[in-house]
Structure 1
Amino acid sequence: MLDIFATDPEAKAAREEREQKREAATRPEWSFQFRSGKRVGRQPVSLRHWRITTPKLETAQALKELFGGTIGEAPNGDYALDTERDRIEVIVNASRIESKLIQWADGLPIHECDGSKFLSPEDDKGKPCGCPGLLDERKELAKQRRGPKPNIVVPVRLPQDEDLGQGKYTATAWSFAEDLPYTMRALSRIEGDALCVLRLEHVEYEVKGEKREFTKPVLDVVSSYNDAIAADPED
């Protein structure tokens, strides 16, 4: 087997440190993750119904009991449940939502900003990030892989079975980022946990007579979770 580090232990140590950072960035510990798309070969495909991935078979089986669907395998080796639901109730706490713009390379973030200032690395934190001011220009640079795109992490729990632990949905769609200020405004009116609906909205439109379509992820704020529990006649 090839071993290019055999005579250079310092290079090997540096490479292993980068690999640990890459794994930490890409494989955080979550019980499950909502997915609004998947890859077929190398082609990304939007989904009409939620896919939920998890490293544990028992979690996948419990999720199947709740939402139906079929269990398969995700590209990273996790279990993947392709549900029969385009909308699922979730519990969200606004204080735990993380939002930023990130550009990735080789599994590591090379540009992290809040849209106007760098968030990392530490030496650049707070400095102007250089992103264009116009939204369309930001989108075009991201499309060309020359600029960052949204990375919004929404931690969630399931009101149907809170014992399943903490999951998340990571939104990278610009439409979700554009909705976020209004979603956060609605969440700000609620103290503590909120009952929300995570849904996939199918959108069709025409460009020069050509039909196009896509799936838009949306987070709808319903009410305070405590109020929802209090109003449930089964409790």
Structure 2
Amino acid sequence: MLDIFATDPEAKAQREEREEKAQRAQRPSFDFQLRSGMLMGRQPISLKQWRFITPKSATAEHLKELFGGTITEAANGDLAVDTETNAVEVIIDASKVESKLIQWADGLPVHECDGVVFLSPEDDKGKPCGCPKLLDERKEKAKQRRGPKPNIVLPLRLAQDQELGLGKYTATAWSFAEDFPYTMKRLAEIDGEAYCILRLEHIEYKTKAGEKREFVKPVLDVISSFQEAMAEDPEPDA
């Protein structure tokens, strides 16, 4: 096979960088996004029910019909649908899922890695990223804004109405990242698209000092292949 870059690795690296940028530019635009949190003033808060963000008023109205709730204006000028549900049936293609660790500064990624090696920029790609080996240390550095945190993008469609188009959920919680390898293993066992439940689980516990603590954990339950799910759900009688 023709390989004109075999003796010119620098030209090959430049060409691969252009290809990667082209692929990023071709990534699909999303008709809606799911959010498990929001800003209250400058304070981020977790939500117990799903929030949808969409630029389309018709989509917002339809989402309200499906999941209840209210429609308001989001901070970015789009529409926000604060639903009355903590669980949404979704269709996911495992091959479209993206996962990495990212540290942001001034709205730009300054550190992108897979936990072991850098994923960008091109000059550093494949080199050790220097992240701590222990999970607790990774979390602490991220909390101090001295290290990257999870960025797992799930492109999806709504099982209840696929005509609403392509949406996504971006998970940044460490709890979701800890489950992620096992979730992907389950998705890999599915032939084709998977039928899943994306839910917000409310967790309560007490510390050793007896103090009550609570948080909301996003969870992706992989149920079956979407084809199987449709076969088990017969059409309603006319």
TM range (shorter): 0.7 to 0.9
Q: Which residue of 2 is the match for residue 153 of structure 1?
A: 153
- In 1, Cα distance between the equivalents of 2:138 and 2:110? 16
| Structure 2 unmatched ranges of 5 or more | 1-20
**1:210 matched to 2:196:** no
Q: For each residue in 1:11-64, what CA deviation from the matched residue of structure 2 results, as whole angstroms up to 9, or x when unmatched?
A: xxxxxxxxxx9xx99xx8210000001111011111110000001111101111
Task: Give runs of aligned pairs for residues 15-34 of structure 1, distance below 5 A.
Answer: 29-34=29-34
Say which SS state the counterpart of residue 76 (structure 1) adopts. coil
**1:233 matched to 2:230:** no
Q: Which residue of 1 is the match for residue 109 of structure 2?
A: 109
Give the Å deviation of 1:206: 1.6
CA RMSD of aligned residues (A): 1.7
Q: Which amino acid aligns with 2:147?
A: G
Give the Å deviation of 1:69: 0.7
Q: For each residue in 1:112-139, what CA deviation from the matched residue of structure 2 results, as whole angstroms up to 9, or x when unmatched?
A: 0000000000010000000000000000
Give the Å deviation of 1:165: 0.7
- In 1, Cα distance between the equivalents of 2:224 and 2:193? 9
Q: Which residue of 2 is the match for residue 143 of structure 1?
A: 143
Question: Normalised by the size of structure 1, how large is the TM-score?
Answer: 0.87
Q: Which amino acid aligns with 1:56?
A: K
**1:81 matched to 2:55:** no
Question: Normalised by the size of structure 2, how large is the TM-score?
Answer: 0.86
- In 2, Cα distance between the equivalents of 1:217 and 1:188? 20
**1:56 matched to 2:61:** no
Say which SS state the counterpart of residue 157 (structure 1) adopts. strand
Q: For each residue in 1:192-218, what CA deviation from the matched residue of structure 2 results, as whole angstroms up to 9, or x when unmatched?
A: 100000000000112222111100000
Q: For each residue in 1:56-82, what CA deviation from the matched residue of structure 2 results, as whole angstroms up to 9, or x when unmatched?
A: 111101111111110011111110000
Alignment size in residue pairs = 212
State, as a whole percentage, how many aligned pairs show the same letter: 71
| Structure 1 unmatched ranges of 5 or more | 1-20
Say which SS state the counterpart of residue 158 (structure 2) adopts. coil
